[in-house]
Structure 1
């Protein structure tokens, strides 16, 4: 269940506690709240919610529609005069929704309706299940829920959020231990994070971790859920709590998987939080060890490798004790990484925006060290808010 709060008073219920409406499964903390909600308008909605498939399905459908509207509005300027590459229409024939594009596609490529992307992913995965394809083929088709089939880069921002709700509403009716249902909850949590809905993401990720432990999920799935939860703690400023969890995840991944993508992702998250806590030397030490592994295992242009390089650069130039050589290394690292990020993801991608902003700061820090104090003060005033 994603609905973990009382529908009347919003008190946290957890995953198993509370009282449910006998017809539609809307959840309450007790009989008093249930009666209050019924008298306050629930009785008019109860049959409709049940007909939809119950409270969880009704909530997912509603949140999905809201997220699609937000995504289409956010992309409206970029998609003017374009058509969906799947259905070839500007407006969706059924929902009348507008187009979106939140990946690395450039030019006239990559425009689509969220509904078309979701339906395509749903049909492809259903076909894989029906034909009993192996896990590799199923995984490639499932990836359509979060990755563009044209540029092969992940969606981001509000489009990722809308597709997260689409994935969850598609599979939430399956048994709790069903793998695709677990994956759908994961996609929803990541989508909410991508759109900066951290309150909602925290609730989903806590529910996901509890569910995975309850159903005896594989250890890599549980570690992934812990890592995602830690990143949400960070978004709330709970950096020490996030660091403890990320240190544990990295240690377990290193022991179980060695030089694997799971370990590299855990190392990246751990290092990022170390930088947030201004523990720069620890972050540099970790990344100097893991970046060569990422280059060898993933490649120079893979997103995770690039992120590790710019976190390493931050650990260099943000350190108050950085030497002149440290600052020069940071600028060189960011310049090389920024060129690759722009080539791979395009100028509008959030990774490109982030790293180019960091490059401005690193260059300012270097020039401030190399110039008289008056010019240094001017640079600090210009770039200090980035």
Structure 2
């Protein structure tokens, strides 16, 4: 994670906590700093300073570790392939192997994390230097987490490695710099995608604190709150997540109206929190209102209408009061979502695997109900 805890005792730190004068490692107070110096920091201080000081040194180290994990995870899938950017199997400088975690088919989409990161860095720098405008900046920023070929978000350990690549690229900028702020979000999302939820929560909390401190917009604060809520849910803190998602959905409605994409995304997340707490009637009521709007505004092939379908179907077949027709509707809904998800995102995408699992459970529930048997969900 980024350096949000004391190097000596691991206690949470304020953003202005005292630092080592040379390498900028942070501490609770002088007592912790002196203790850490005696326990070995004396030997590491110069090395960390030469590596760009504490945050940069930590980011570089974490990046190399994340790349190694991503390459190993993709090794079977990338055998005999070459990078579509540099055309080599091994990276000329780092000697790293290839990765692929998107919807590209056949021989497309194989790349080195270093090549993907360099491509994103160059494209964004060009947009900044030439003042190409917010739209172009945002489009190019997406290269940090989106495949340039299939336009699908990377996922899993590849997204985590790119998150660290993004953070190490911009960590040296001033705190108020927009790219540095966005890089924190990219890192947090990457950590979450690789199931490093505690680390992701730490980054998100630091991001939220930083944005409040620097007076960011209500739109941006709601986005960070939503990400915080999702991370709490991933850690099993469901009531806390639901409260935050409700506030975000209410805030989006007031700020944007019911037809705005951000409002529909907030509705998806709110419904997922309701469903996780088995508040099925509330889940179904919300989704019956928002699913038609979501398909109209975002399109049937978009990720969030598909997430809504999955959430709605699960609420249908898991509800203890579900009728046979409800379970049949759940199966039909998931069959439709499964067909679209496989076509658009590929079989390895987490949403596709989630729909697959939901469909298997729904079909089993339907068979049991048609045979007059009771159904118990674990």
* TM-score for the superposition, normalised by structure 1: 0.95
Give unmatched runs, 5+ long, in structure 1: none
Q: Name the stretch that deviates more: 134-143 or 8-17.
A: 8-17
Q: What is the aligned partner in structure 2 of residue 308 from structure 1?
A: 308
Q: What is the deviation of 1:153?
A: 0.2
Residue 148 of structure 2 aligns to a residue whose secondary structure is coil
Residues 216-264 of structure 1 show CA distances to partners (whole Å, capped at 9, x for unaligned) of 1121111000000001111121111111111000001011111111101
Q: What is the aligned partner in structure 1 of residue 46 from structure 2?
A: 47
Residues 142-164 of structure 1 show CA distances to partners (whole Å, capped at 9, x for unaligned) of 10000000000000000010101
Q: What is the deviation of 1:350?
A: 1.6
Q: Distance in 1 between matches of 2:34 and 2:142?
A: 43
Q: What is the aligned partner in structure 2 of residue 264 from structure 1?
A: 264
Q: Name the stretch that deviates more: 202-211 or 24-33.
A: 24-33
Q: What is the aligned partner in structure 2 of residue 199 from structure 1?
A: 198
Contact 2:2 2:58 (C-alpha < 8 Å) held by counterparts: no
Residues 47-69 of structure 1 show CA distances to partners (whole Å, capped at 9, x for unaligned) of 12112221011111111111000
Q: What is the aligned partner in structure 1 of residue 212 from structure 2?
A: 213
Q: Distance in 1 between matches of 2:10 and 2:59?
A: 17
Q: Distance in 2 between matches of 1:7 and 1:176?
A: 21
Q: What is the deviation of 1:31?
A: 2.2
Runs of 4+ residues deviating >3 angstroms: none
Q: Distance in 1 between matches of 2:33 and 2:362?
A: 57
Residues 115-264 of structure 1 aligned to structure 2 (within 5 Å): 115-258=114-257, 259-264=259-264
Residue 79 of structure 2 aligns to a residue whose secondary structure is coil
RMSD after superposition = 1.3
Residues 294-344 of structure 1 show CA distances to partners (whole Å, capped at 9, x for unaligned) of 111110101111111111111111111111111111000000110000011
Q: Distance in 2 between matches of 1:150 and 1:7?
A: 42
Residues 48-127 of structure 1 aligned to structure 2 (within 5 Å): 48-127=47-126
Q: Name the stretch that deviates more: 5-14 or 105-114.
A: 5-14
Give unmatched runs, 5+ long, in structure 2: none
Q: What is the aligned partner in structure 2 of residue 332 from structure 1?
A: 332
Q: What is the deviation of 1:138?
A: 1.0
Q: Distance in 2 between matches of 1:110 and 1:133?
A: 27
Q: What is the aligned partner in structure 1 of residue 28 from structure 2?
A: 29
Q: Distance in 2 between matches of 1:25 and 1:124?
A: 31
Residue 27 of structure 1 aligns to a residue whose secondary structure is coil
Q: What is the deviation of 1:13?
A: 1.5
Q: How many residue pairs end up in the alignment?
A: 377
Q: Distance in 1 between matches of 2:45 and 2:134?
A: 40
Q: Distance in 2 between matches of 1:78 and 1:150?
A: 18
Contact 2:188 2:204 (C-alpha < 8 Å) held by counterparts: yes
Q: Distance in 2 between matches of 1:193 and 1:288?
A: 29
Q: Distance in 2 between matches of 1:241 and 1:350?
A: 24
Q: What is the aligned partner in structure 1 of residue 295 from structure 2?
A: 295
Q: What is the aligned partner in structure 2 of residue 7 from structure 1?
A: 7
